[in-house]
Each structure stands twice: as C-alpha cells, then as structure tokens.
Structure 1
Amino acid sequence: MTFDAIGIAGTGLTVHRKWLDAISDNISNINTVSATDDEAFRQRYVLAQTSDASPGVYVAGTALGSAEGRLVHQPDHPLADEDGYVRLPDIDLGDQMSQLILAQRGYQASAAIVDRARNSYEAALQIGRS
C-alpha cells in the first residue's frame, strides 16, 4: 500500500510539473508580438488522464490554444501592418496566475503524500528491526 501511494503521488508530481511548465511558457510569451499575417503564440494546455493499466494520472499530451490571438494597435512597432496593428496572444494573465496557484498546490499536495508515505515506510522498517 505504501509503495502504491508513492507511485500514485509520483504521477501527480509529474503531471503538476508539466502543468507548471506550460503555465510558465504561457506567461513568458504573453507579450510576444507577431505580424498580423502570422499566427499568435498559442497558449499551452496539459492534457491529463488516468489509465486502466496502472494507478495514477498521466500526461496524455498537450493542446494548443487559438493562433488568432488579438489585434492591438501599435503603429510604432516594427512588425505593425500598414494600419498599425500587431497580433498578440489571447492569454489572460489573471487566469494563468489562478492556474499557477492550482498547479503549485497540487504539486505540494503530491509531494506531501510522498513524504508521508516514505515516513510510514521508514517507521515500518524500524518496527521490523525492533
């Protein structure tokens, strides 16, 4: 049972780490400018799923947001079109920060489970030595 808890929590750690990576990528590219005839930076989403073969959760892949983005009037930008518009990603910083908090707390919870399971295992070993 203890080994199952460590393994399951370990899968949670991996999924939350990948989620944190996607969020940091989204936040770092929130002001990436593209020309209006190019695609905007596409927001990253992590797809997680369970498996019938083994317990836990796994990264099934990633999905990308809309390449349309949003048009912003910046006539002094070197990538601006003849009307003075550039394309920015359609990423909401407030939403990303909320996602960041959720992913951090999920990661911390999985790490706490690993620590508690390890402590239980070590306590069982100590009992066995007595």
Structure 2
Amino acid sequence: MSLHNIFDISGSALSAQSVRLNTTASNMANAESVSSSVNETYKARHPVFSAVYESLSGSKYSGAGVNVLGVVESAAEPRVKYQPENPLSDENGNVFLPNVNIVEEMANMISASRNYQANVEIANTAKTLIQRTLNLGQ
C-alpha cells in the first residue's frame, strides 16, 4: 500500500462520516415535529456503511475504504402524545412525534465528529510524511 492510497481511504471515511453527520442533524432537527397521523410522521434515518476491500495476493485482503450503501428509515413506532388542544391532533386528541432518541443522536454526532477528526489527522500525517520524504535529498 502506498502513501497515496491513504488519501483515498481517509477521503472515503470523511465522506461517510459527513453523511452520518448530516443524517444525525436531520434527525435532531425533526425530533419534535408533530403530525396528525402515523404515516406522515418523520422517521429517524440512519446511514448504512460497508467496508471496501482491495485484494492483495491469494486470500489476503487490505482495507481500501468505506462505502455508503444508503440511508434507511427506522422501523420503530412513532411516539404518541395526548394533546387535544393541538390543531394537528387526531379524533382521539393524540399527536404523533418522530421515533428519534435525542441521546442516541448526540452519541452518534459525537462519534461521527471524532471519526471525521481522526481521518483528517490521518490525511495530514500522510501529507507530512510525503513532504519529509521529498526533503530527504536536500
């Protein structure tokens, strides 16, 4: 593996963590939005990642990055809250709130942010190593 592959690998991880941060931010922004029916209620979204492998020789594999397979909606039921005074309440006086867990989303945001930061450091370290290698002959 050359040092140039490191940029591809950390770049794919940066892109994946950016998707994760965006979906988490979307979940948190919609956490308290109410609706009048179960079908109209916002559903929490989560990205799905897969590792990308590059064949070296025989049965040995080397990591080559992260691939975002897509974003899936949570299958959990929305929260139901009794608010008969709300104009969006149904005939029973209930409103429906998204199935977003704020504590879980904050943990996802912190984790994605730290992963993003770590991959920026990896790219910076690889850049520094390449620069120092080029300066060896001077």
TM > 0.5: yes
Q: Distance in 1 between matches of 2:128 and 2:16?
A: 23
Matched-pair identity in %: 29
Give the corresponding residue for 1:99. 108
Give the corresponding residue for 1:76. 85
* Matched-pair contact (CA < 8 Å) for 1:40–1:67: no
Render the CA deviation track for 1:13-42: whole Å, top value 9, x for unaligned.
Answer: 011110000000000000111112533101
Give the corresponding residue for 2:34. 33
Give the corresponding residue for 2:58. none
**TM-score, structure 1 normalization:** 0.92
* Matched-pair contact (CA < 8 Å) for 1:36–1:71: no
Which structure 1 segments of 5+ residues have no match?
A: none
More strand by share: 2
Aligned partner of 1:66: which letter? A
CA RMSD after TM alignment: 1.5
Moved over 4 A (4+): none
Equivalent position SS for 1:118: helix
Of stretches 50-59 and 18-27 in structure 1, the one that deviates more from structure 2 is 50-59
Aligned pairs for 1:36-115 within 5 A: 36=37, 38-53=39-54, 55-66=64-75, 68-115=77-124
Aligned partner of 1:33: which letter? V
**TM-score, structure 2 normalization:** 0.87
Per the TM alignment, residue 96 of structure 1 is displaced from its structure 2 partner at its CA by: 0.5
Number of residues of Structure 1 aligned to a counterpart in Structure 2: 129
